[in-house]
Structure formats: structure tokens, C-alpha cells
């Protein structure tokens, strides 16, 4: 299967595309000569990873009949100081909220996403150090 994305330059540093029928605008910050009409492109790498593994985990927990009161996927990315300013390390924090959550099942869901299902982490971990943490909050 092939995915095709067409990103069109609008003006100054702003670009626009259609992703699955949803408009996405990307722009540089004002201090970088842009107009901040949309987010910076590199950070989409973090959103892509968080969304991919987050959806896997939601789906797996549903199958396991584990119900959570809240769930956040926090991704921390270390950026290189010199060009190319790439992510050199990422940490994915799976933060669950709920009473008496079964840690073993949460761990299994996260592991299944990371090792079997998530196509985004499968690419990133070839290129950078990817670590994981599970947090349960009140």
C-alpha cells in the first residue's frame, strides 16, 4: 500500500495539506520568519508516535476489557544542538488514570504496541533511542 501526501506552499513559510479529509496548516514561528498560522512540522513526529501507539493501547485495553478513567501519551524528544536539528532520543510516557488498574495488562498493551503493532515506533527505533514509562495517576 502507498500513502501520498501533497503539501502546498501558501505564502511566506506557511504550507497546507489535506490529511484524510482534514485540513492541516504548518507554519514557522514568528521569530523564525513565519506567521505561526499552524504548528511546526518537526513536532508532528512526536504527535504521530503518540497517536499511533495511543490508539493501539486503547484498542488492546478495550479487547482486554480494561477500563481507564483517563489516558495521556506524553512524548519527550531531545533535539540535537547542531544541524540537522533532529530528535536524538524520545521517551514515551503512558499515563493512565483510574482506580485499581491492572498494571500487568497495561504493560502488556504497551508492549504489544511497541513490539508488534505501532508502525511509527518501528521506524523511529531504528534511528534513535526510544524508551518507555508507564505511570498511573490518581
- Does the footprint of its own copies cover residue 104 (CB under 8 A)? no
Length of the chain: 138
String marking each residue 6-45 x if it binds its own copies according to CB under 8 A: xxxx---x-x-x-xxxx-xxx-xx---xx-x-xxxxxxxx
Mark 64-103 with x for binding to its own copies (rule: CB under 8 A) and - for no binding: ------xxxxxxxxxxxx-xxxxx----------------
Q: Which of 5, 88, 1 is closest to 42 using CA atoms?
A: 88
Q: Using the rule CB under 8 A, is 51 a contact of its own copies?
A: yes
Which residue, 101 or 122, is less far from its own copies as judged by CB?
122
25 or 103, CB closer to its own copies?
25
Dihedrals phi, psi of 104, to nearest 5 degrees: -60, -40
Amino acid at each position: 500500500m502507498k500513502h501520498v501526501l501533497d503539501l502546498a506552499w501558501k505564502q511566506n513559510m506557511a504550507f497546507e495539506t489535506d490529511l484524510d479529509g482534514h485540513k492541516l496548516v504548518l507554519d514557522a514561528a514568528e521569530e523564525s520568519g513565519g506567521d505561526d498560522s499552524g504548528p511546526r512540522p518537526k513536532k508532528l513526529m512526536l504527535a504521530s508516535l503518540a497517536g499511533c501507539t495511543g490508539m493501539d493501547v486503547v484498542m488492546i485495553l478495550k479487547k482486554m476489557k480494561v477500563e481507564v478513567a483517563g489516558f495521556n501519551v506524553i512524548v519527550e524528544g531531545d533535539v540535537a544542538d547542531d544541524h540537522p536539528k533532529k530528535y536524538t532520543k524520545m521517551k514515551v510516557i503512558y499515563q493512565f488514570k483510574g482506580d485499581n488498574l491492572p498494571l500487568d495488562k497495561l504493560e502488556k498493551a504497551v508492549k504489544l504496541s511497541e513490539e508488534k503493532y505501532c508502525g511509527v515506533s518501528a521506524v523511529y527505533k531504528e534511528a534513535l533511542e526510544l524508551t518507555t514509562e508507564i505511570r498511573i495517576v490518581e
